[in-house]
Amino acid sequence: MTESHSGGCHCGRLRYRFDAPLRDIAHCHCSICRRTTGGIVTTWITVPLSSFHWIQGSAAAYASSATCTRYFCSHCGCNLALFTTQSPDTLDVTVATLDDVEQALADRHIWTESRLSWLTLDGHLPEEQQEVIF
């Protein structure tokens, strides 16, 4: 059976599930993530788009750039997912919203050219100055 993981927003109106393992997880340091999530770093897991399902509620969408749409809860404001036309077969999901976030270990940093100078986090992981799309 395929590994399955679920998560949701703070208020509980949005719930999702994806049938994919907890890998391909990156700490993103870009300024767009900072301004859209309000966090100093946003950690994303990339999953096959076809493996992802909203199981409760309907997410609001925000186009944060010409290629990128971010999905969030219109009630509590939580950011849950990101789609980019640069990788049309995948969806990025915020690991912080996973029910089993403790098991979701990052494997790299991305967009470190925008990293805050005072931020110390997972210093042993490899870094990509921007983002290498596989």
* Residue list 3-22, contact with Zn ion (CB under 5 A): 9, 11, 13
Spatial CA neighbour of 80 closest among 24, 17, 31, 27: 17
- Does position 98 interact with Zn ion (CB under 5 A)? The reply is no
φ/ψ region of 103 (left if φ > 0, alpha if ψ in -120 to 50, else beta) reads alpha
DSSP class of residue 76 equals T
DSSP H helices, 1-134, are 31-37
- Does position 95 interact with Zn ion (CB under 5 A)? The reply is no
CB of 110 to Zn ion, least distance (A): 7
Query: How many CB atoms sit inside 10 A of residue 100's CB?
Result: 11
| Site track for Zn ion across 52-81, x = CB under 5 A | ---------------------x-xx-----
* Residue list 19-48, contact with Zn ion (CB under 5 A): 28, 30, 33
Maximum alpha-carbon separation in the chain:
43
CB of 61 to Zn ion, least distance (A): 14
Residue (50 or 129) nearer to Zn ion, CB: 129
**Contacting positions for Zn ion (CB under 5 A):** 9, 11, 13, 28, 30, 33, 73, 75-76
